[in-house]
Structure 1
Amino acid sequence: MRKIKWTDVRLMLMIAVMIFLYAFSTARNEVRKIVKTDVAFTGENNPFVTHETVNNLLIQNFNGASSIRKDKLDLNSLERTLDNNKMIEKAEVYATIDGTLKALVTQKTPIARVSSEKGTYYIDYQGEEMPLSDNYAARVPLLSGEIEEEKRTGLIEVFQKINDDDFLKKNITGVQILPTGSLMMTVRDYEYRILFGKTINVDKKFGNYKAFYQHALKDTLIGNYKLINLKFTQQVVCTK
């Protein structure tokens, strides 16, 4: 007769108990109701879209957060609902064990404000149109002139460079698209304008401008200029 190994029996019993407890807790967790929502924003906390707006989007298909059973949640659908909001770049939605429906929201980043016959709106970092917000006004350059679709990529690159550079972001207040396709820029603290030219050699032109600015600032001549021409990448031409 084969001898029973009680160690093996105890191990099997422990495994069976663990499986039972896991199944029991899973089943109990699935029927648990959502008791609250929690909305958090990543990155800069500029409130283009409010916590209340996101919360309403989360529960718009239900009678209230407390009526939602966790096993009835369609998290993918909730994420799509948030992603479809023109202020939101990306959202992650999940439910916690304690019954909290959480949303981690990344808002879009505006890099320019457009005022045209089409209306007033932002252009975000990806080059898409973004509506103005009733809650917050972004401090970004004002873009005027006709935006030609075939030249849009180069234009977006210029604004991305401005947004990513602390000096340029603080310094440049406006960009006008001239009929020739060249860009004319205005600055915050001085009266001169910057003739940037076409949207080519962007890094080189901005590098030249920053070098000019530091040099002119030291010589206290910067207030005398009317036009800073960056069209020629080998030099900066200044007009008084």
Structure 2
Amino acid sequence: MRFNWNIFKMVFLLIIVSGLYAFTNNRSKNKEIKDLKIEFVGIDNLYLTNESVNKLLIQNYGSLKNITKEKLVLNTIEKVIEANEMVKSAQVYLTVDGELTSKIVQRRPIGRVEGITKFYVDDEGKRMPLSKYHSARVPIITGKITGESLEDVYVILKHINSDEFLRKNVIGIHIDDVDKYQLKFRMENFVVNLGGVDSLTEKFNNFKAFYTKANKDKTLEEYNMVSLEFDNQVVCTKI
């Protein structure tokens, strides 16, 4: 019986590869965390700090430095970070250099409710607590705060944030009743009666056309009430 060198070579190669894989895998598991890196992704990262995230991790895990990779469950760490009410999402991974990196997207407030309970409304329409690190410059929401009215306010806020003129000038939304919302502007003394959240694009376009003309004619100060409640009309009340 002739000895098959080709089979011998394949078996030997397989043993070598398996050994290298086992060695590398074992070495990877035993790799220790050398440093922690927290990176905030996106803009307006003002409501959470590196120190507060570090404190959160220490409270849950103690010091993560010098812990081996084998003892880490990255998905669990992500969930711990995402449990913070200022966090929208988190991604945690270990680099080849042993650096545990956390990429965090913070939530973004677009309105602030001033009622018995104070909180933000974020860009997904969810409640977001106030931050001790920063106070957002967003429209103040007052009046009859209910779950239904906040849903409408979120619709109004989305329109405001999608328009540069409105975003710069609207500083407040007052909830007078269901389907009765008022806007307060930064530089003007009049109140805008918006009515309900129907036909918002048309209402805001009509208002901007009125504002441009009245500003050109220098008559804005003559009005104390501007109503957009009626179909395709801007009804003004003079002082």
TM-score strictly above 0.5: yes
DSSP 3-state at the match of 1:178: strand
- What is the aligned-residue RMSD (CA, Å)? 2.3
Match of 1:65, SS state, is coil
- Does the CA contact (< 8 Å) of 1:46 and 1:136 recur in 2? no
The letter for the 2-side match of 1:112 is G
Q: Deviations over 1:126-147 (max 9, x none)?
A: 2222111111110100000112
Q: Does 1:226 align with 2:224?
A: yes
Distance 1:4 1:130, change over 3 A: same
Give the Cα separation in 2 of the matches to 1:20 and 1:221: 85
177, 182, 185: which one aligns with 1:184: 182
Counterpart position of 2:121: 123
Match of 2:138 among 134, 137, 140: 140
- How many Å separate the matches in 2 of 1:177 and 1:53? 35
Rounded Cα–Cα distance in structure 2 between residues aligned with 1:5 and 1:220? 98
Identity of matched residues, %: 36
Q: CA deviation at 1:18?
A: 4.3
Cα offset, 1:109, TM superposition: 1.1
Mapped contact 1:154–1:200 kept (Cα < 8 A): no
The 8 Å contact of residues 194 and 229 in structure 2, kept in 1 or not, is answered as: yes
Q: Where do 1:47-86 residues align within 5 Å? A: 47-86=46-85
Partners of 1:236 and 1:2 in 2: CA distance: 100
Task: Count matched residues.
Answer: 238
Per-residue CA deviation, residues 46-95 of structure 1 (Å, 9 max, x unaligned), is: 32010111122233333312142211111121111111111111111111
TM-score by length of 1: 0.88
Give the secondary structure class of the aligned counterpart of 1:66.
coil
1:232 and 1:13 map into 2 onto residues whose CA distance is 85
Scaled by the length of structure 2, what TM-score is found? Answer: 0.88
* Matches of 1:146 and 1:86, distance apart in 2: 25
Q: Where do residues 133-172 of structure 1 align in structure 2 (5 Å cutoff)?
A: 133-172=131-170
Per mean C-alpha deviation after superposition, the further-off stretch among 220-229 and 163-172 is: 220-229
**Cα distance in structure 1, aligned partners of 2:83 and 2:61:** 18
Q: Which moved more, 1:132-141 or 1:22-31?
A: 22-31
Structure 1 unaligned blocks of 5 or more? none
Question: For 2:144, what is the secondary structure of its paired residue?
Answer: coil
* Shift in CA distance, 143/45, structure 1 to aligned 2, threshold 3 Å: closer
Q: Structure 1 residues 64, 104: closer, same or farther in 2, change over 3 A?
A: same
2:218 aligned with 1:213, yes or no?
Answer: no
